[in-house]
A = this chain, B = another copy of it.
Amino acid sequence: MYLHKAPAEARLLQAALELLAERGYRGATTKEVARRAGVSEVTLFRRFGSKEGLFKAALSAFVPQGFLERLPRETAPLEEGLGELLAAYLDLLEAHRALLPKLLSELLRHPELGQGEALPLRTAMGQAVALFRAKQEEGLLRKDEPPEELALAFLGPLFARFLLGEALGVRLPLDPEAYVRGYLEGRYGAR
């Protein structure tokens, strides 16, 4: 196997993410991405086919290695499972603190970028939903709401808290155990 393959590709993905956040999808040129990655522009097109392919891949790849495997299985006990889910997402948000708000804004403006074959965030949300569904069937969570609602009610405030903190430039400390407890005692968690 050709050893130099990984670095060029990885640098292109990283540069694409940064420029996407800095200048937006239309403002980020392939030439500039290649320059920042220290790679020729031709290589970019040989690897990713098109500008859109590159940015889709970048958005899919920005979820860290091992994130999906780290998510709790449906068989995990309720409270531990939620705790692990929360911890995994907290780490993800922390790892991309500076970029995420602008990336989200670009995703809203260019929905096609989120249509990547297996955008990991989508998969990750699917796994979270599976966990909530399993706990519903075990009778540990209320069944009068679809599991997607339960998952959103759990993760939504987390995103909101994060985005608000970034927008205002403040760090909002979060106690994971208290967050899980608060969810379980709240409206959606009540069984």
Contact = CB atoms under 8 A, between A and B. Distances in A.
Contacts of A163: 167
Contact of A164 (B27, B105, B109, B164): B164
A168 interface: yes
Contacts of A23: 109
A189 interface: no
Count identical subunits in the complex: 2
A24 B24 CA distance: 9
A46 interface: no
Interface residues of A, number: 11
Nearest to A164: B164
Interface string A104-139: 010001000000000000000000000000000000
A105 B27 CA distance: 14
A187 interface: no
Contacts of A160: 167-168
A163 B166 CA distance: 12
A26 interface: yes
Contacts of A109: 23-24, 27
Interface in A1-52: 23-24, 26-27
Contacts of A26: 24, 26-27
A162 B163 CA distance: 14
Interface in A138-191: 160, 163-164, 167-168
